[in-house]
Structure 1
Amino acid sequence: MAAVAVWALLRSRNMEIWIGSYLRRPRVTAMPGPVHVMFCFVDHFEPMWHGADEATQRQRVDRWCRDYRALAARHRDADGRPPQHSFFYPEEEYVPEYLDKLSALCTEGYGEIEVHLHHDNDTEANFREGMSRFCRVLHERHGALPRDPATGELRFGFIHGNWCLDNSRPDGRWCGLDNELILLRELGCYADFTLPSAPSDTQTRTINSIYYATDDPDAPKSHDTGVPVRVGGQASGDLMLIQGPLGLNWKDRRMGLMPRIENADVRGGQPPTPQRVDAWVRAGVHVQGRPEWVFVKIHTHGTQEGDMDTLLGPPVDAMHDYLESAYNDGQRYVLHYVSAREAYNIVKAAEAGMQGNPGDYRDFHLPPPRASWAGGRQAQAAA
Structure 2
Amino acid sequence: MNALIALAVVLALAAVGSFVVWRLLRSRNMELWIGSYLRRTPPLVTDRPVHVMFCFVDHFEPMWHGADVDTQRARVDRWCKEYRELAGKHRDADGRPPQHSFFYPEEEYAPEYLDKLAELCADGYGEIEVHLHHDNDTEENFRESITRFCRILHERHGAIPRDPVSGELRFGFIHGNWCLDNSRPDGRWCGINNELILLRELGCYADFTMPSAPSDTQTKTINSIYYASDDPRAPKSHDDGTPVRVGGHASGDLMLIQGPLGLNWRKRKFGVIPSIENADVRGGQPPSPGRVDDWVRTGVHVEGRPEWVFVKIHTHGTQEADMDTLLGAPTDAMHSYLEKAYNDGKRHVLHYVSAREAYNIAKAAEAGLEGNPHDYRDYVLPAPRSSWAGSGRQGGTVADRDAA
Task: Give me the TM-score of the superposition, normalised by structure 1.
Answer: 0.98
Cα deviations by residue, 1:5-58 (Å, 9 ceiling, x for unpaired):
000000000000000000000023432110000000000000000000000000
Kindly report which structure 2 residues correspond to 1:266-345, keeping only aligned pairs within 5 A, or say none: 266-345=281-360
- Alpha-carbon separation, structure 1, partners of 2:93 and 2:375: 11
Q: Which residue does 2:45 correspond to in 1?
A: 30
Cα deviations by residue, 1:144-188 (Å, 9 ceiling, x for unpaired):
000000000000000000000000000000000000000000000
- Alpha-carbon separation, structure 2, partners of 1:364 and 1:28: 25
Contact 1:108–1:378 (CA<8 Å) still a contact in 2?
no
Q: Secondary structure at the match of 2:164?
A: coil
Confirm whether residue 40 of structure 1 aligns to residue 55 of structure 2: yes
User: In structure 2, which of residues 145, 164, 169 is the aligned counterpart of residue 154 of structure 1?
Assistant: 169
Cα deviations by residue, 1:274-313 (Å, 9 ceiling, x for unpaired):
0000000011000000000000000000000000000000
In structure 2, what residue type is equivalent to 1:286?
Answer: H
For structure 1, the 5+ residue unaligned runs are none
User: In structure 1, which of residues 340, 349, 352 is the aligned counterpart of residue 364 of structure 2?
Assistant: 349
Please tell me the root mean square deviation across aligned C-alpha atoms, in Å. 1.0
In structure 1, what residue type is equivalent to 2:213?
Answer: A
- Alpha-carbon separation, structure 1, partners of 2:266 and 2:144: 47
Cα deviations by residue, 1:180-207 (Å, 9 ceiling, x for unpaired):
0000000000000000000000000000
User: In structure 2, which of residues 121, 125, 149 is the aligned counterpart of residue 106 of structure 1?
Assistant: 121
- Alpha-carbon separation, structure 1, partners of 2:100 and 2:151: 21
Contact 1:80–1:379 (CA<8 Å) still a contact in 2?
no
Q: Secondary structure at the match of 1:108?
A: helix
- Alpha-carbon separation, structure 1, partners of 2:60 and 2:360: 23
- Alpha-carbon separation, structure 2, partners of 1:334 and 1:81: 13
Cα deviations by residue, 1:209-235 (Å, 9 ceiling, x for unpaired):
000000000100000000000000000
Task: Give me the TM-score of the superposition, normalised by structure 2.
Answer: 0.93
In structure 2, what residue type is equivalent to 1:10?
Answer: L
Q: Which residue does 1:21 correspond to in 2?
A: 36
Q: How many residues align?
A: 380
Q: Secondary structure at the match of 1:43?
A: strand
Please state how far the C-alpha of 1:373 moved relative to its aligned partner.
1.0
Confirm whether residue 50 of structure 1 aligns to residue 89 of structure 2: no
- Alpha-carbon separation, structure 1, partners of 2:114 and 2:144: 20
Contact 1:82–1:379 (CA<8 Å) still a contact in 2?
no
In structure 2, what residue type is equivalent to 1:301?
Answer: H
- Alpha-carbon separation, structure 1, partners of 2:89 and 2:42: 35
Please state how far the C-alpha of 1:93 moved relative to its aligned partner.
0.1
Q: Secondary structure at the match of 1:8?
A: helix
Q: Which residue does 1:93 correspond to in 2?
A: 108
For structure 2, the 5+ residue unaligned runs are 1-15, 396-404
Q: Secondary structure at the match of 1:133?
A: helix
- Alpha-carbon separation, structure 2, partners of 1:164 and 1:90: 14
In structure 2, what residue type is equivalent to 1:114?
Answer: E
In our comparison, the structure showing a higher alpha carbon Rg is 2
Confirm whether residue 224 of structure 1 aligns to residue 224 of structure 2: no
